[in-house]
Amino acid sequence: MNLSAVIFDLDGVIVSTDEFHYQAWKQISDQEQIYFDREINERLRGVSRMESLEIILSHSDKTYSENEKNQLAHRKNEIYCELLNNLSPNDILPGVINLLMSLIARNIKIAIGSSSKNTPFILDQIGLTTNFDAIADGNSIKKSKPDPEVFLLAAKMLGVKPEECVVIEDAKAGIDAAKAAGMKAVGVGSAAHCVDANIKLNDLTSLDLEQLLEVNEIRS
Ligand code: BG6
Ligand code: MG
């Protein structure tokens, strides 16, 4: 199958906002005296805000009401958005701009497929809002990764078949979502050791475009 489009996750793939998510959840956990560390944080990658909160609260003995949960999620987002205020194009991760330019030069479409409701703000902050052919995000989906909804929506918005797309992800939930959508997947950073990733990389500086084109020729 020809490669028609590359769908990028946002947090931890395009930009280093995954660290801000960690810092904001750490503040909430400390405030609530709930144990939270980077290993638990790995499970929050790719999943929605409320699902992330549920994972954190599973380490507490206290029972939280829906109202309390909504307040904690709201507060976490306030802390996170304060951190996003300092975001700039300097926070775009290494290799991203070169890859985007190479794909555009080859007429391969580019899209965002993110669980985050803050996607529009983040893209504005890093100056990439107008560069993508489609943006599918947490504002337009019902189920977050590992459900394939966000990637299938991105493919639909681009007018391409799922099997013509490759996803780039830093989350296991994202790799699982790509597979469930019938797409090939590149695992970067935290997902570099994901067994189901077709290509595994520490960061995007080492992604060879020919390798990306070839991966879509492989049968899964
Ligand atoms: C994903 C992050 O991109 O977005 C998750 O990997 C996060 O950690 C999710 O929970 C939702 O983000 P937001 O910005 O809508 O709270
Ligand atoms: Mg991510």
In this prediction, residue 109 carries a pLDDT of: 98
Do residues 76 and 171 share a domain? no
Do residues 184 and 199 share a domain? yes
- Spacing, Cα 119 to ligand 1 middle (Å): 9
pLDDT in tens, 46-61: 999 999 999 999 999 9
pLDDT band (50, 70, 90) for residue 219: low
Do residues 33 and 142 share a domain? no
- Spacing, Cα 16 to ligand 2 middle (Å): 9
Do residues 111 and 42 share a domain? no
Return d(Cα 218, Cα 220) in angstroms, integer.
Answer: 6
Among the listed ranges 9-13, 35-39, 206-210, which one has the minimum average pLDDT value?
206-210
CA distances (Å), 205 to each of 20, 47, 87, in order?
22, 26, 21
CA of 42, nearest ligand number: 1
Output b/e per residue, 29-66; b: 16+ Cβ within 10 A: beebebebeeebbebbbbbbbebbbeebbeeeeeeeee
pLDDT in tens, 152-166: 999 999 999 999 999
CATH at residue 210: 3.40.50.1000
Residue type, 175: I
Q: The tokens 């560390």 sit on which residue? A: 37
Domain count, the chain: 2
Domain that holds residue 53: 18-84
The overall pTM is greater than 0.95: yes
